[in-house]
């Protein structure tokens, strides 16, 4: 049975083309014969390509990522992913850290680095919350754009006037599912 070197690359947004290209270049240089890539946030979105990569790898394979934060969103997530890989007999390499879980030192370092990455993320989120609070206090924070639910009264009024869901969607610029949700909840 031949083992494979499989890569996984991820950026948080589609705007990060250079970041994705750099990861793909590094994974190719590391000898990856198959690479799974996606451009989605690790926090809010299901990472379909990561799931495909985890399903694809087999015993004896190695999953390679350029950086730890491209793979896991938290220590718990990292433990889950490494547990799944271990159960399949798959090793993990993180290029930026020169880390390989095929070695005892690599396993120790993986746990330490995962804890540090989670700590750094929590600090970043805390700074973000503080920045938002300051912007709100200074009257500079606008928040997110109004949602369709804020147009519920208009949706109900237009429906009472006999307009169809499609006409309401066209007039108010809200999604069809939002219109039906508002009508159902009324």
Q: Which of 12, 41, 66, 74 does the annotation list as catalytic?
A: 12
Whole-Å CA distances, 62 to 8, 26, 91, 105, 110: 11, 15, 5, 17, 15
Residue 89 tokens, joined: 């007999």
Known catalytic residue at 115:
no
Cβ atoms of residues 90 and 59 within 8 Å: yes
CA angle 128, 133, 138 (to 5 degrees): 125
Residue 159 tokens, joined: 């429906």
What is the edge-to-edge ordering of all strands in the sheet holding 62-65? 34-39, 5-11, 62-65, 91-94, 99-100
Residues marked as catalytic:
12
């Amino acid at each position: 049975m031949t083992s494979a070197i499989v890569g996984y690359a991820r950026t948080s947004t589609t705007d990060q083309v250079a970041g994705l290209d750099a990861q793909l270049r590094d994974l190719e240089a590391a000898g990856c014969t198959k690479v799974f890539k996606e451009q989605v946030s690790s926090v809010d979105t299901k990472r379909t390509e990561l799931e495909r990569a985890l399903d694809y790898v087999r015993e004896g394979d190695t999953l390679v990522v350029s950086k730890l934060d491209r793979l896991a969103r938290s220590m718990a997530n990292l433990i889950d992913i490494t547990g799944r890989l271990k159960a399949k007999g798959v090793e993990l390499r993180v290029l930026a850290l020169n880390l390989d879980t095929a070695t005892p030192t690599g396993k120790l370092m993986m746990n330490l680095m995962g804890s540090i990455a989670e700590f750094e993320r929590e600090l970043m989120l805390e700074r973000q919350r503080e920045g938002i609070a300051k912007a709100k206090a200074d009257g500079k924070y606008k928040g997110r754009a109004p949602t369709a639910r804020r147009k519920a009264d208009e949706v109900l009024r237009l429906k009472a006037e006999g307009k169809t869901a499609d006409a309401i969607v066209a007039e108010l610029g809200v999604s069809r599912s939002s219109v039906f949700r508002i009508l159902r909840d009324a």
